[in-house]
Amino acid sequence: MPLMKRRKVFACKTETTIGTAETLTATEGVYNAYQLMVQPQIPMELRESQGSFANLAAVPGGRQGTATFRTDLCWDGTNVEPKWASVLLPACGYVDSGSGVFTPRSEAPGANVKTLTIGEYVDGKRRLLTGCVGNFRFVFPTGRMGYIEWSFQGVWAGETDTAIITPTYPSDTPIRVASCPAASWDSVSLIFEQCVIESGNEITMRESPTAASGYINGIITSRKPKATCNPEAYLVGTQDRHGLWTSQGFATFALTLDGSSTSTIGFSAPRAQILNVQQGDRNALVTDELEFQFSRDGSTADTDLSITFTPTA
C-alpha cells in the first residue's frame, strides 16, 4: 500500500540528556509545519576488488541526518512566547534571557542552548533524529504572511513503523508583514518588498567511537547572522548607503511586526553593517539590494541580534 505524502506530522522535544532520544507524543506535535523532510546522510565507503572491475560490499559511515520544514510566523500575543520560539530557538542557539527576549549564546548545548529529538510521521512510518541543532531563516514578504524556514542537523536514529500521532494543532493567526511599527536601518525607513533574517550558524557533528551512529549530537561552533532586503533607493542626502558601505558604517537595524491585538515581535541588531549593495529594479522603481552583517555591540558578547516578544498590554 502506498504512503501518502500529505499524511505527514512533525513533532519535536527538547532533550533532557544531550543526544538521548525523547519519547514523542501528540503533545510534541503542536506545530503547523509545511514542506517537512527528514533525510538520512550516511556516506558509503566503497571498496575495490582485486582481479576485476567489480567492487566489494560498501561499508556505511557515520549516521547523521537533516530535518527541514517551514512554520507560520504566528503568536497568540498573550503567552510569553509561542511554542516555536520556546522549543526551536534554543536549539538554534537563541535563549530567552528574560521576559521573552531571545539572544544568542556562544556555548555548547547544556543549561541554555538545547538539542532536540525530531520525528517525522509519514502515514504509518516514523523517521527519527536525535541531538539536533539548527538554523532559522525568518522571511518577511510585505503585505503577506511571514514565515520561518528551519533546518536542523543531528544523529540519524532510523525509521520504524509507527502510528501517526494526532496533535491539537495551533489556531494562532499568522502575522502579516504590514502596519509594522519599525522597519529601518540607521533610523531611515527600509521600504522593502521582502526582508530575510538568518541565524547563520555553523554546525558540526560530535564524533564518538562508543556511539552506534558514530556521533553524539550536533553542535553550533560559530555564527554569522545577517539580513538581506530590497528597499527602495534613496538620494545620497537621505541615506548614503554606498558611502556607509565603504566606510564600514555601523547602525541599528530594527524590524517590528504587529501581532495579535497590541502584541509585537521585534528584531533588533545594534551594529548592522552593509556587506554589499547593488542596484535593483522592482516594477520600474530603483531599489538597493542590501546585505547586512550583524556584529556584536562593542565588547559585549552575544549582542548581535535579539528577538523580543511583547505580549498584549
For the chain, the structural domain boundaries read 8-44+60-310
Question: What pLDDT, on a 0 to 100 scale, did the predictor assign at position 187?
Answer: 97
Answer yes or no: are the C-beta atoms of 152 and 118 closer than 8 Å.
Answer: yes
Mean pLDDT of 23-40: 96
> How does pLDDT run across 239-293, given as a tens digit for each residue?
999 999 999 999 999 999 998 888 999 999 999 999 999 999 999 999 999 999 9
Comparing 20-24, 197-201, 259-263, the range with the smallest average pLDDT is 259-263
138 exposure class (CB count in 10 Å sphere: 0-12, 13-18, 19+): buried
Q: How confident is the model at residue 173 (pLDDT cuts 50, 70, 90)?
A: confident
Give the pLDDT mean for 216-235: 98
Cα 28 from Cα 271, distance rounded (Å): 37
313 or 238, greater pLDDT: 238
pLDDT of residue 189: 98
Q: What percent of the chain has pLDDT over 70?
A: 100
pLDDT score of 225 more than 90: yes
Cβ proximity of 219 and 204 under 8 Å: yes
**What pLDDT digit, counting tens, does each position of 86-133 carry?**
999 999 999 998 889 999 999 999 999 999 999 999 999 999 999 999
Q: What is the pLDDT of residue 134?
A: 98
**Structure confidence at residue 170 (pLDDT):** 87
pLDDT > 90? residue 313: no
Render pLDDT for 134-145 as a digit per residue (tens, 0 to 9).
999 999 999 999
Q: Are 158 and 42 in contact (CB under 8 A)?
A: no
Q: What is the pTM of this model?
A: 0.96
Q: Is residue 237 pLDDT above 90, yes or no? A: yes
Instruction: Give the confidence band of 78 by pLDDT, cuts at 50, 70, 90.
Output: confident
**Cβ contact 9:29 at 8 Å:** yes
**pLDDT above 90 covers what percent of the chain?**
91
pLDDT at residue 99 in the model: 85
Measured distance CA(130)–CA(63) in Å, rounded: 11
Instruction: Give the phi and the psi of residue 32 in degrees, each rounded to 5.
Output: -95, 95
Q: What is the pLDDT of residue 171?
A: 87
- pLDDT > 80? residue 80: no
Per the CB < 8 A criterion, the answer to whether 284 and 251 are in contact is no
Nearest by Cα to 133 from 198, 192, 206? 206
